[in-house]
A and B are shown apart, each in its own frame.
Chain A
Amino acid sequence: MNASQTDAAAPAADATDGIIIARDVHKWFGQLHVLRGIDLTVKAGEVVVIFGASGSGKSTFIRTINRLEEHQRGEIIVDGIELTNDIRNIAAIRSEIGMVFQSFNLFPHLTALENITLAPRKVRKSAKADAEAAGMKLLTRVGIPEQAHKFPAQLSGGQQQRVAIARALAMQPKIMLFDEPTSALDPEMISEVLDVMKGLASETGMTMICVTHEMGFARAVANRMVFFDHGQIVEQGPPSQIFEAPTHERTKQFLSQILH
């Protein structure tokens, strides 16, 4: 956890720079213009919630941050490294970013603990015993150390997603990306995952970008909320402002639909 501690001290110094800087990011899928000039700067330690209608480009945008999707115009700078086609840059950036997916994407042929220790052992070349000790610590942190030797198929959805969070944390990232982490979960399991995420935000000061429609979570944890509509950022601000005084018509409409 050394990385995150040094980080927690850092934001005051370079708060203006931003650990993630996106400038005029464009992306097309074939003829479809899915990202239409995204400008977003995220400061170290900040928790940003991105929300918006399905197809508004929010998932695509966070996937460009670790190059799971390639942007075609504009620039993305993560912790001072610009994302280009240079494979070393991509590797360097990916090693600083953890990602949690909507459908967990755990490796089904590995146990929970093996899922967590795989990357530290292969990428960081950690010793097996060290990686496993660290992995057990992470499993304890997400509340399921007793499931260490089970396979993903033997775990509930909520447990799987918690393993996935632990797996991402094992690389000691400075930034965590969450791509709709609770939308594939049964209702009674959503809170156990959100609790882990809340703990992550409050205890470690991790920089987090979450695509989610869990508005309770956003209100409790987010420093800033960003509303995506048709590939553009329409409105952003602290939760209080977004919930109580949204300015844009599309934001009001969308919020009224999901908040009833």
Chain B
Amino acid sequence: MTAEIAPPPRIAIGPLGWLRRNLFQSPLNGVISVLLGAALTWLVLQVGGWAIGEARWSVVTENLRIFLIGRYPGDLAWRIWLSLAILSVLSGLSAGVFGRTTRMLAVTLSAIQALLAVLIATSPIGLVGVVAYAANAAGVWIAFVVGLRGWMPRRPLTFAWLVSLPAAFLLIAGFAGTPLTSVATNAWGGLLLTVVLATVGIVLSFPLGVLLALGRRSRLPVIRILSTGYIELIRGVPLVTILFMADLILPLFLPGEWRLDRVARAMGGISLFSAAYVAENVRGGLQAIPTGQVEAAQALGLTSVQTNISIVLPQALRAVIPANVGLFISLLKDTTLVTIIGLLELLGIGRAVLAQSDSLGASLEVYAFVAGVFFVLCYAMSQASYRLERALGVGTR
């Protein structure tokens, strides 16, 4: 019974061995490696040389405030910081209390705000901004330790999350007639607008999409037909059209005193658009659940609502994380389309900056910066998704 368990043979080849095995296995292989290596080196030298030597990054650093928050009043910018501070503390606490699944959110928030602090250091915004965002980045980890020690009960934390997003939104938007003066959403712009549109779009379209997916499989014909009709209709129309419709046509249907502002209309348009795609993704996940799962739940006496919530959705939603994150990454990038209804998100701000006379000839710098910011956000999302998949992957079939 107690046969000796042999360890797997140890394979150590060293860096030279690695080179030989992977890059110079045959003469042809070696030639290709050398050529590609040369081309890559040339490319890196060119781009790097431009970025470090020629590029006039001052067009970005001088205008950094506009890139970040658009025409949002500078003396109220602390409200944006405070919103982020609240989210940072919450994500840190959650990472400590709930563990793996929320930890990637904390890492992302902390890393992005640290990056922001570095960016601000290069700009005329000043030391206050640097310290504020560095403090947020650090605050995540302080909150993490607090959460880890078990000083934060679970239930209030869950509740705090539910309240936090609307609260952050209201904090940034403000209220007319209160000490928290309202900031017209017309003034929101740049990265702030991009992130707000994407976050609201994701947070609203996800539950709506799940409901539509369930509706499409409903036994009640009215719900099924309405859901299917909605999904097919939205998927048959480009987002640009929906944004135009939301902007121009929606006000015609609403009573006169109901004046939805432009940002809210864009949010609505993006959420309603994205929900149809979420629904189709989720439907794919629902179809992948074996009927035996539902039968076992029914045999135990669970109602169909209980079966969906406890058995079907947890498995289906986990299966479609990659697809949904892909969708949300495109949603983030699609927010650039709101330029056509006159909103200045990050890319729109970039173009507005370029229209100024003193930034003549700096378009490469501006677009490179905008592309870089989008890359960081999208990469963070896809990394978060991989981690989420792995964290939730425990004990799958």
Contact = CB atoms under 8 A, between A and B. Distances in A.
A, B from the same assembly: yes
Contacts of B315: 107-109
A94 B296 contact: no
A94 B300 contact: yes
Interface in A105-162: 105-109, 111, 118-119, 122-123, 150-154
B296 to A, nearest CB: 4
Interface centre among B300, B395, B397 (most CB of A within 10 A): B300
Contact of A97 (B293, B299, B314, B394): B299
Interface in B314-367: 314-315, 318
Contacts of A68: 295, 298-299
B176 to A, nearest CB: 46
Contacts of B310: 118, 122
B301 interface: yes
A242 interface: no
B395 A154 contact: yes
Contacts of B306: 122-123
Given A101-B292, A105-B292, A122-B310, A66 B395 contact: no
B321 to A, nearest CB: 13
B296 A151 contact: no
Category for how many chain A residues contact B = 20 to 34
Interface in B257-310: 290, 292-293, 295-303, 306, 310
A119 B395 contact: no
Interface centre among B301, B302, B315, B395 (most CB of A within 10 A): B301
A91 B301 CA distance: 6
Contacts, number: 70
Contacts of B290: 105
A171 B300 contact: yes
Given A109-B315, A122-B302, A101 B397 contact: no
Interface in A158-210: 164, 167-168, 171
A241 to B, nearest CB: 32
A101 B295 contact: yes
B396 A168 contact: no
B295 A119 contact: no
Contact of B296 (A91, A107, A122, A153): A107
Interface of A: 66-68, 91, 94-95, 97-99, 101, 103, 105-109, 111, 118-119, 122-123, 150-154, 164, 167-168, 171
27 contacts: A67-B298, A94-B301, A98-B299, A101-B292, A101-B296, A103-B292, A105-B290, A105-B292, A105-B295, A105-B296, A107-B293, A107-B297, A108-B396, A109-B318, A111-B395, A118-B310, A119-B301, A122-B302, A123-B306, A150-B395, A152-B395, A152-B397, A153-B395, A153-B396, A153-B397, A164-B296, A171-B300
Which A-B residue pairs are the 4 nearest by beta carbons?
Answer: A151-B395, A105-B296, A119-B300, A105-B292
